[in-house]
Amino acid sequence: MYIKTTEYLAMVRNKTGFSDYKISKEYEINQSNLSKYSSGKAALSETHAWLFANILDIDPAEIVANTKLEHAISSGNNSKAKFWQEQLDKIFSESLPIKIQIAQINPIVGDIKSNAKKIIALSIEASENGAHLVVFPELALTGYPPEDLLLRNGFIDQVKNEINILCELIPSNIFVLFGAPSQLDKNLYNSAYLIYDNKIQNIYNKQELPNYGVFDEKRYFTSGKESFSFECQNTRVGVLICEDQWVEGPINQVCQGNVDMVISLNASPFQLNKQSARMSICQKYALKFGISFIYINMVGGQDEVVFDGNSFAVDKQGELIFEMPAFEEISMSYSDSSLKPVVTTDESSIYSALVLATRDYINKNSFSGALIGLSGGIDSALTLAIAVDAIGAENVHAVMMPYQYTSEISLTDAEMQARTQGVHFSSIDIHKMVDSFNASLSDVFENNSIDTTEENIQSRVRGTLLMALSNKHHKIVLATGNKSEMAVGYATLYGDMCGGFAPLKDISKTMVYKLSRYRNTLSEVIPSRVITRPPSAELAPDQVDQDSLPPYDILDDILKRFVEEKQSVDSIISQGHTSEDVNKITSLILKNEYKRRQSAPGPKVSSNAFGRERRYPMTSKFKP
C-alpha cells in the first residue's frame, strides 16, 4: 500500500504544527495547489515531494515514487503504476536490515551440473524467503578438493558453462556468493563469485593457498592479490576464502575498506577440537576490527576427508550468535537470535563424522550397500554399527566366517549383534578352504615350522569370500582395521585389509572402545561382552593381541606422540615409556609404510592421519 499526498500533508502538519495557510506561506506553496493536495485532487509535484521529504527527514526517492504512483493510478496509466510500484518495493527493500541465507551444502566433486542445480534451487528459495544475500561454501560448484580434475580443460569449460546458466536462472533480486574456480589468461584461481541482476558482479581470488596436510592448492591455483568487498542493504561486506582468515594479511587488507561484516567461504575438513579454533580467530577479528563475522563451511564426506559444516556467526562484540548443526546439509537464515550452539562430546563428534563419511563414500560412488566381515570382535562390531547408521540395516550384509580357532563367544556375539541391528546375516564355514590351501602348500612348506603364514591364510580366505560377495551384489566391503593396527602392521594384506573403505582407519584402539560405549548410549547394539573381553584376531589357539603388542593404552600414547605430534624416540622415552616399547613400536611404524600404502581409504579425524596427509617413503633407512 502506497502513501498518498493527503497523508504526507497530514504528517507535515503534525510535525510542524502549522495550518495549511501557515504551510503555504512558510514554504512558498501556492494556496491553490495546497488545497488540491489537501482534498486529494492532485498528487504532490516533484518539487514539493522533495520539500516534504526535507521537512519529514525521509528519503526523497520514497515520496517521489509514492506521488508518481498516485498520479499514475489516478490517471489510469497501468504501465507507469506498475513501474513506480516496483521502484517503491525496491526502495523499501533497501531500507531493511540485511537478511542472509547460509547454504551449508554437501556438493559432489566433479558433478558440476548437479551442484549448480542445488545452488540455483537454494537461491530461488532464499529469494522467496526475503533474503538479500545467499552464501555458499568454497568451491561449492565443483566440490572440494577437485584435485587433478582442475588440470583438464574440459572440466574448466564445464565450470564456465554452468556459471553462465547460474547467471540466467538465479533470481535477479538476490546477491549470490559462491566458490568456484576461475581462469584468467593461463592462471587458475580458487575464487568467490558474486552474482546479482543476472550477471557476475565481481570475482574474488583466494590469496592464501594452503599446501600442508590434506591441502595441495599451490599445485593448481595462483594466489590472488586484491581484496574485495561489496554493498548490500547499506552493509559493506568483505569476502575471504578459508586459509585467508588464518593469516592477518587478507583480513587487514579487506577491513581497510571500512567493512561492516566479513564472510569467509570454507571447505574446512573435520578435525577434533577444530571448531573452537575457528571460533576463536573469528572472535578475535570481530573485536579487533569492530565487524561481524560469518563463517560458512562445506559439509559431507569426500574420499579421506569429511567436512563438518558447523557454520556460525559472531557479532561485533565477538559473541557467538548463530551456529548451524554439524554434519548436516542445511540452508537457513542468519539472524541474531537463530540457532544456539549444541554441546557435544569428542565421541559424539567423531562418531557423526565416521557415519557421514561412510554414507557419502558409499552413496556418492553408487554402491548398493555394504559388506562387513563380522568376527565377534569390537572393531567389526563398531564398523557394523557405523554402517547401519550410515545407510540403513536393509543395505548392510554381515558375514561370519568361522574357523577352528573362532570361539563360541565370538559366534554368539556376532550373530546377536547382526540380529539386534536387523542386517542380513550369513555364516560361511572356511575349514575346507583353509585346509585346501594348507594341503596345496604342504610340499613347498616342507621342513618349515608353522608361523603367521598359516594364520594369514585364514584371513586371506575371508578376504576372498568378501570380495566375491562384493562382485556379485555390488556392495562395497568395509575394512574393519583401526589406526593402532595399521600403524604397526598388525593386519594382513589381501586379508582383513580387504575393502574399499575403512571407517576406523584413523581411529585408535582406545578410541574404538570409547566410540563403542558411546554408540551403546544411543541404543545398545554392541554386546557388552564384545567391549569387555580381551581383543583377539583368533588366528591361533588362545591368541590375544597383547601377545605381540603392548597394552593398547601404552601403544596408542606412543603412536600419538610419534605419528601425530612427530616426537622423537628420545622425547617419547622421556615421557615415561620404556625404550623397549618405543623402539619396537616406532620401528614397526616405519617398516609397515608399504602395507599402509595399499590399504583402503578412510576418514581423517586426527591431526595426522595415515593416507594422503602422511607422505612417508616406503623405502627409507631413517632412524627416529
Q: Which residues are known catalytic residues?
A: 138, 206, 242
Phi, psi of 219 (to 5 degrees): -70, -25
Strands of 428-479 (E only): list them. Answer: 475-477
> Which grid cell is 116?
549448480
> Which grid cell is 373?
566381515
Look at the alpha carbons of 158, 159, 160, 166 in this order and tell me if their dihedral is positive or negative. positive
Which of 270, 335, 352, 301 minimizes the C-alpha distance to 519? 352
396, β-bridge pairs? 370
d(CA 364, CA 304): 13
d(CA 612, CA 19): 81
Q: What is the DSSP string of 145-202?
A: --GGGGG-HHHHHHHHHHHHHHHHHS-TTSEEEEEEEEEETTEEEEEEEEEETTEEEE
Strands of 20-64 (E only): list them. Answer: none
Find where cell 590399504 sits: 599
d(CA 422, CA 205): 50
326, β-bridge pairs? 309
Burial of 275 (0-12, 13-18, 19+ CB in 10 A): buried
d(CA 239, CA 604): 28
Give the full edge-to-edge strand order of the sheet including 100-104.
199-205, 187-196, 175-184, 133-135, 100-104, 330-334
In degrees, to the nearest 5, what angle opens at C-alpha 280 toward C-alphas 279 and 285? 95
Phi, psi of 461 (to 5 degrees): -65, -45
d(CA 459, CA 587): 24
Burial of 239 (0-12, 13-18, 19+ CB in 10 A): buried
> Which grid cell is 58?
525521509
For residues 384-399, one letter each, b for 16 or more C-beta atoms within 10 angstroms of the residue's C-beta and e for the rest, the string is: bbbbbbbbebebbbbb
Element (H, E) at 425: strand 424-427
Residues with Cβ < 8 Å from 587, sequence gap 6 or more?
A: none
300, β-bridge pairs? 307
